Amino acid sequence: MERETIIALDFASGKEALNFLDIFQDEEEKPFVKIGMELFYAEGPEIVREIKRRGHKIFLDLKLHDIPNTVGKTMKVLSDLDVDIVNLHAAGGRRMMEEALKGLQREDGSRPLLIAVTQLTSTSPEMLHEQLLIPASIEETIVSYAKNARQSGLDGVVCSPLESGMVKEACGEDFLTVTPGVRFADSSKDDQVRITTPAKARELGSDFIVVGRPITQSNDPVSAYKYCQSEFKG
C-alpha cells in the first residue's frame, strides 16, 4: 500500500471545504481528504458525493459505536457513498466490528478500508481508571483493542505515530496505522501535544498521516501539501 497524506477537512460548512479544495483544482493528483463529524452532520451525504465527484479519495471519520446490527446496516449506507476509508470505535467489541465489515462489502466484491479508533487521545489514565473503571494502562488497552480489530478482520487502527511500532508488533506489519498529530518542524503545535514530523512518522511506520491545520491554515496549502507528501513518502 502506498503511503499517503490525508488532509483533515475540519471546516464548519461545505462552502468553506469546497473553497479550500478549489485551490487543488489544477493539480493532477487530487489529495486524499478526511471528512469528520462536523462537516458531515452540517451538510449530509451530499458533501461526500460532491467531493468524490471532484476526484478525491475520502476517509469518512464518523467513529461509529452502537449495537452490531445498527453499525452493520449503517456501514452499508456509508459504503454506498463510495468512500475509501471508514472507522468505528474498537470499544464496541468484536461482534460489532465483524458486522461492520459485512455491511461494508459491496456487490462487486470491493469495500472501503475499515479502521478502528482504540483510545481517543483525550482519554487520560485517571479517566480510564476512575470514570470507566478500567484497571489496565492506556497502552495495554490500545494493544488489546488493536488485536481485537485485527481478529475481527479490520485493516488497521487510528493511533499516534508514536504507537505505530507497538501496534505493528502486536498485529503485524501489514496492519495499517493511520496517524494524526503531525507537524512540520517549523510550524505551530496548535493543541497537539505528542507530535512528529512527516518524515519521522514514516520512520515510525505510519501508513497514512492525517494532517489538518499545517495545510488548511497555511498561506500556500498546495506547497504545504506537496512538502508533506515528499517528506512522508521519502
Residues between 14 and 43 that touch ligand C5P (CB under 6 A): 36
The least CB distance from residue 228 to ligand C5P, in Å, is 10
Which residues, in sequence order, are bridge partners of residue 36?
Answer: 61
The one catalytic residue among 30, 34, 52, 63: 63
Site string for ligand C5P, 120-139 (x = CB under 6 A): xx------------------
Cβ atoms of residues 178 and 206 within 8 Å: yes
The least CB distance from residue 62 to ligand C5P, in Å, is 12
Instruction: Tell me if residue 63 is catalytic.
Output: yes
Cβ atoms of residues 164 and 204 within 8 Å: yes
Q: Which residue number has the CB closest to ligand C5P?
A: 212
The least CB distance from residue 190 to ligand C5P, in Å, is 6
Cβ atoms of residues 222 and 28 within 8 Å: no
User: 27 — phi, psi (to 5°)?
Assistant: -75, 140
- Residue count of the chain: 234
Which triple of cell numbers denotes residue 80? 454506498
Binds ligand C5P by CB under 6 A, chosen from 14, 161, 212, 221: 212
Give the interface segment with ligand C5P, choosing from 94-102, 105-113, 125-133, 204-212 (CB under 6 A). 204-212
Binds ligand C5P by CB under 6 A, chosen from 8, 33, 85, 104: 8
Binds ligand C5P by CB under 6 A, chosen from 171, 210, 224, 228: 210
Write out the DSSP string of 163-218.
Answer: GHHHHHHHH-TTSEEEE--B--TTS--TT--S-B-HHHHHHHT-SEEEE-HHHHTS
- Size of the residue set binding ligand C5P (CB under 6 A): 15
Residues between 158 and 197 that touch ligand C5P (CB under 6 A): 158, 180-181, 190, 192
Cβ atoms of residues 232 and 198 within 8 Å: yes
Residues between 42 and 81 that touch ligand C5P (CB under 6 A): none
Which distant-in-sequence residues (6+ apart) come within 8 Å of 67 by Cβ?
A: 96
Question: What residue has cell string 494524526?
Answer: 180
User: Could you give the residue numbers annotated as active site?
Assistant: 63
Q: Which positions lie near ligand C5P, rule CB under 6 A?
A: 8, 10, 36, 120-121, 158, 180-181, 190, 192, 210-214
